[in-house]
Structure 1
Amino acid sequence: MKFRFNTMSFFLICIFSAICISSVSLFAAIEERTVISEISRGSYSENAVHFTFKEDNWCFESLINQLLRSRLSDFVLIYDDYEKHIRQIYVMGNNDPPPMLSGRYFNEDDFDSGKAHAVIGTNRLHEVINKNGRQQIKVENTMFDVIGIVGYRIHTMLDDMIIVNADALSYKSNNNNIFILDAYSGKPPGHCINVYKDLEQNVTDGMSQGNQVPITLLEIKPGGIDRLLQSIISITTIYLLLIVCYVLCSIAISFEWISKKRREIAVKRLIGWSDRRLKIEIYLKYFIFAFIGSGLGLMGIYFFGTLITKVEYILAVVLLNIFMGWLITIPPVKKMLKVSVTEVLR
């Protein structure tokens, strides 16, 4: 198969590049809005459970000890001091880290091991002390080793945070008595409430009969979910309108491109080429246009600094372009193959 580059080919490649750029921009926009929405509600999922701990002689260790008795895993306990931007967490099993700029986030091995670790935002870097080759930060008179920098590519509330392992601090602010249980994303939505019920049962079992249970479930619904959905619908609608325009332009160009090959196609049919063989040749040329357009589109995206965080996005865009390359050839090819050889060569 000979591949000749002409004006029609150029326009088709440009359209495939535009489809690629639009598709990746859509994926990146949805991902960014999803991440920002999660950060704005506290970097925990919409299924997280909020509760209060009303024990008079409050002790973080007692709450953690009750969690250690749980039959469940893959969750994180969160407690925030909103005034000082300090977050204490306790992880059991797997957990979902917030966006990281460098280093690593907490894992289960960082707890109950005598370690004092911290993950900090960029606005806290000036508080870091280099001591004996170790990067440390002081939190409530306790020194923590900095193991990572949390944050996103734009300014968010994460930039001001210090996140520490709760068993190394066990500090409680006077202005907040709300705790959060959040489950690992690999678990079903009801996992958070199951962990809370297990915690509540463990607390109840350890109390004297007749005493009031010191933990209370709160009906708090994380905000931002509806706005996120509306935003995704809006940008997806714009994307689909663009795709329709690209398809219509491509079909118009394809009619012109194939009409210029009418005599070539007629001669090939005259010498014995089947319709199936002719279709395959045309489809292959369009697939080549799609691959070239995808490559140029990805180069353009890289040049303009759009971040592609998942390889799946690239694969999806290439497959979409191949599908579009096949789709836009169907109307002109069907029309061309209905024309008889004698009519073309007349």
Structure 2
Amino acid sequence: MKRKFLFADIALNISIVVFFLSVAAVVRISGKLSEMNKLNRGYYSSHRQAFTLNKKTGTFDDIKKIYSKCMAGTILYKELSRLEDLRGVLVKGDIDAPPVMEGRFFNENDFYSNKHIAVVGVKQKDRVYEKNGGFFIDIGGHPYEVIGIAGTGCSLLDYTIYINLDSLSEVDNEAGLFYLDGISGDVVNKSIEELKDGINVINLDNYGIINIFFGDIPDLIILMCILTSFLLSCLFFTYFWFYSHKKLPDVMNIIGMSRGQIAGEIFREYVKTILPAIFTAIVVMMGLVL
């Protein structure tokens, strides 16, 4: 049967290409927004819970006792300085670590062994010096071995310095908050529930203008609305294509084709029509990804 190229064919192909590309764009943008949300929270995830201890000064034994109650898959941060973004870290299990440009971030084996270890932001590299085949940075008058360079090259994370929290004998609880983060909200919430008698939980959900522009739920709703609109457009033009070919079954019936043959032929015509769109969308998506 000779094919006749109709406006419906063109419209359908364009709508399918746009839908495929919108899916790719939504996936890519949602990933960027997730990263942006983390960066705007100091690279704490949306699961993080902030708290203080009940006393002004906490020894490391106090902190170790508290963290021992936390579940695996959590990371405890402590803001250590009013003057710079210096954070103490304790890690338990697999965690979603900040992005590292060189070396590595902390793992569970780096703690409780009298080590002094640091991961520094890329903008702090000028403070790093080489000694005895290793790299070090002085924090509080003590050399810390640098095991990684963190950052993105264009965020506040580039100025952050992380040290293993067990390298300190005590911390000033009034200098900053503790943050318990983790691979899931369930892990963090259960851990906070275990700690509730010894800590004061701070609700940060509604603090700051950043939440207005980069809240997780509004971003997700906007992206899903965009994707839904393109999906409805694609469905509309699919219906339009079938409507424009409504006379085909009558013609096929006249020439003696059965219902099954008619359905199969129309389906094959539809597939032939959308193949250029699918091929084009896949090629463009691969070009964008690679």
Question: SS of 1:30's equivalent?
Answer: helix
Match of 1:204 in 2: none
Match of 1:48 in 2: 48
Deviations 1:221-263 (A, max 9, x none): 234556512233234323433443444445545655x57x949
Match of 2:77 in 1: 78
Match of 1:281 in 2: 268
TM-score (norm 1): 0.66
Match of 1:266 in 2: 252
Contact 2:70 2:192 survives alignment (8 Å): no
TM-score (norm 2): 0.76
- Pick closer, same or farther for the CA change 1:43–1:298 going to 2, 3 Å: same
Q: Distance in 2 between the 1:71 and 1:247 partners? A: 49
Question: SS of 1:270's equivalent?
Answer: coil
Deviations 1:54-77 (A, max 9, x none): 546x34422233136537443222
- Residue 168 (structure 1) shift: 2.3
Higher strand share: 2
- The answer on 1:238 being equivalent to 2:226 is yes
Contact 2:51 2:177 survives alignment (8 Å): yes
Question: SS of 1:130's equivalent?
Answer: strand
Total equivalences in the alignment: 282
Deviations 1:285-325 (A, max 9, x none): 3563453133123134247xxxxxxxxxxxxxxxxxxxxxx
Match of 2:201 in 1: 218
Q: Unpaired runs of 5+ in structure 1?
A: 201-214, 304-346
Contact 1:46 1:222 survives alignment (8 Å): no
More off after superposition, 33-42 vs 233-242: 233-242
Cα RMSD, aligned residues only = 3.8
> Which amino acid is the alignment partner of residue 268 of structure 2?
E
Q: Distance in 1 between the 2:148 and 2:107 partners? A: 12
- Residue 278 (structure 1) shift: 2.1
Deviations 1:99-153 (A, max 9, x none): 3444332221111133333222221122222334433322222333333333347
Match of 2:285 in 1: 298
Report the identity percentage: 22
Match of 2:94 in 1: 94
Write out aligned runs for 1:1-346 (5 A).
Answer: 12-55=12-55, 58-67=57-66, 69-70=68-69, 72-80=71-79, 81-152=81-152, 155-170=154-169, 172=171, 176-185=175-184, 187-188=186-187, 190-197=189-196, 200=197, 215-223=198-206, 227=213, 228=215, 229-249=217-237, 251-252=239-240, 258=245, 262=248, 266=252, 270=256, 274-285=261-272, 288-289=275-276, 291-302=278-289
